[in-house]
């Protein structure tokens, strides 16, 4: 048996957003040891420069990978800015990132109007611009940065009148209501109720389940899956310990 199979999987986000990805990984890989780290002291990453984000992600990614057999960048901004560099530094280690779920949203309807909400850092990356250009042939795509939404979720107000008001202001200039919304930041699913109150009962697409499925595939391919008799566990850590009660509340709603 590979002696790395019992090692933990690290999940990393700028704060609380990646808890949604953690929940999907727990469901799909119940025998794994999971270690979640939210860099809440430095959140939100989406308001920092690309260089700042890259330095933070590389620092924490390398620290977590000292003990972990795999790393999930449960943060769209971290993925966009630093995933490629981490993969170059750790070529044999599974490093799973997030990508805005534009493809399934576009293919779910004929010529849909799709709203992509993400951080400014994610939307400014060449990788995202190419993704949008690819799918604009089959859809109308509106990309809007929503930095205030990250702050509201980090404050525990993702489902609140404050978030409703923020979204109404943010989306006031949309020419028509969208047919679907792509949540291009892992924090945003925690504002799903507010999005439905403001936009109606339309599909919301996020990448959490897809990231968990990709992690499972890669672990199996590399022979790194936990043994059949293993008992899973989850440990939550934060650079600002005051965030831990929020992490727990989001993990066990």
- Tell me which of 185, 215, 219, 246 is the catalytic residue: 185
- 39 neighbors 60 (Cβ within 8 angstroms): yes
The SS3 assignment for 205 reads strand
Query: Which pTM value belongs to this model?
Result: 0.95
Residue 1 pLDDT exceeds 60 = no
- Please determine, for residue 69, whether its predicted confidence score (pLDDT) is greater than 60: yes
Percent of the chain with pLDDT over 70: 99
- 21 is written with which tokens? 């990805």
pLDDT score of 21 more than 80: yes
Options 3.40.1500.10, 3.90.950.10, 3.40.50.1860, 3.30.1370.110; CATH for 102-205 is 3.40.50.1860
148 phi/psi in degrees, rounded to 5 = -65, -25
Which pLDDT does position 222 carry in this prediction?
Answer: 96
pLDDT digit string, tens, across residues 142-184: 999 999 999 999 999 999 999 999 999 999 999 999 999 999 9
Q: Given 75, 93, 96, 180, which residue is catalytic?
A: 75
Q: Which residue(s) pair with 116 in the sheet?
A: 143, 182
Question: Which are the contacts of 4, defined by CB distance < 8 A and separation ≥ 6?
Answer: 69, 224
Quick check: do 9-97+208-251 and 102-205 share a fold?
A: yes
CA atoms within 13 A on the CB side of 119: 28
For range 44-62, the mean pLDDT: 95
Q: What residues pair up with 234 in beta bridges, in sequence order?
A: 34
**Is the peptide bond between 44 and the residue preceding it cis, with omega within 30 degrees of 0?**
yes
pLDDT digit string, tens, across residues 179-227: 999 999 999 999 999 999 999 999 999 999 999 999 999 999 999 999 9
Residue 103 CB neighbour total at 10 angstroms: 16
The domain 9-97+208-251: what is its CATH number? 3.40.50.1860
185 classed as catalytic: yes
Each domain of the chain, given as residue ranges in start order, spans 9-97+208-251, 102-205
pLDDT at residue 2 in the model: 52
pLDDT the model gives residue 3: 77
Distance, in Å, from the CA atom of 94 to the CA atom of 71, rounded to the nearest integer, reads: 6
Q: Is 75 a catalytic residue?
A: yes
């Amino acid at each position: 048996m590979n002696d790395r199979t019992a090692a933990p999987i690290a999940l990393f986000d700028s704060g609380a957003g990646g808890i949604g990805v953690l929940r999907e990984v727990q469901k799909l890989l119940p025998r794994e040891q999971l270690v979640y780290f939210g860099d809440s002291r430095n959140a939100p990453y989406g308001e920092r420069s690309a260089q700042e984000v890259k330095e933070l992600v590389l620092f924490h990614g390398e620290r977590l990978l000292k003990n972990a057999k795999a790393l999930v960048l449960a943060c769209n901004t971290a993925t966009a800015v630093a995933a490629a560099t981490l993969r170059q530094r750790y070529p044999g280690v599974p490093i799973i990132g997030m990508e805005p779920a534009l493809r399934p949203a576009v293919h779910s309807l004929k010529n849909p109007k799709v709203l992509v909400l993400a951080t400014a850092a994610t939307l400014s990356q060449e990788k995202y611009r190419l993704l949008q250009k690819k799918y604009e042939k089959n859809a109308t795509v509106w990309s809007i940065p929503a930095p205030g939404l990250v702050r509201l979720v980090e404050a525990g107000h993702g489902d609140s009148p404050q978030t409703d008001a923020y979204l109404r202001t943010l989306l006031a200039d949309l020419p028509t209501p969208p047919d679907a919304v792509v949540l291009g930041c892992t924090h945003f699913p925690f504002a799903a109720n507010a999005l439905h109150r403001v936009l109606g009962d339309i599909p919301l697409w996020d990448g959490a389940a897809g990231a968990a499925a990709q992690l499972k595939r890669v672990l199996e391919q590399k022979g790194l899956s936990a043994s059949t008799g293993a008992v899973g566990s989850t440990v939550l850590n934060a650079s600002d310990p005051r965030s831990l009660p929020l992490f727990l509340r989001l993990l066990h709603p």
